């Protein structure tokens, strides 16, 4: 079974109040030098069978219609291979 990760982030031009709240809190907590914070969502999908082009197309469709609001959010799709292994070279972005 393979794991496909979908990361969803607000588009750069969209205000991120949660990220701004975290950024403002960091210096008060003693963490200096952080210029910006953006908050997003991560979805991990366990895929039965091989993650071929058809499976990636289906996951891309799921991400674009269900996991992300593409009017205000971008998403990326990555395949993770094996436990503790690096992310595969397969990557698609919205």
pLDDT digits (tens, 9 = 90+) for 40-71: 999 999 999 999 999 999 999 999 999 999 99
Measure the CA–CA gap between 17 and 52, rounded to whole angstroms. Answer: 37
pLDDT at residue 83, as a whole number:
60
Report residue 1's pLDDT band, with 50, 70 and 90 as the boundaries.
Answer: confident
pLDDT digits (tens, 9 = 90+) for 4-32: 999 999 999 999 999 999 999 999 999 99
Average pLDDT value for residue range 30-41: 97
Distance of CA 10 to the CA centre of its chain: 10
pTM listed for this prediction? 0.82
Distances (CA, A) of 27 to 12, 20, 34, 40, 78: 23, 12, 8, 21, 33
pLDDT at residue 85, as a whole number:
45
């Amino acid at each position: 079974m393979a794991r496909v990760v979908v990361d969803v982030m607000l588009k750069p031009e969209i205000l991120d109040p949660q990220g701004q709240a975290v950024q403002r809190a960091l210096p008060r907590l003693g963490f200096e030098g952080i210029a910006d914070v953006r908050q997003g969502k991560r979805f991990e999908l366990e895929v039965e069978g091989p993650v071929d082009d058809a499976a990636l197309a289906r996951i891309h469709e799921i991400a674009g219609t269900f996991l992300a609001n593409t009017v205000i959010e971008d998403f990326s799709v990555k395949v993770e291979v094996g436990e503790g292994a690096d992310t595969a070279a397969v990557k698609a972005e919205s």
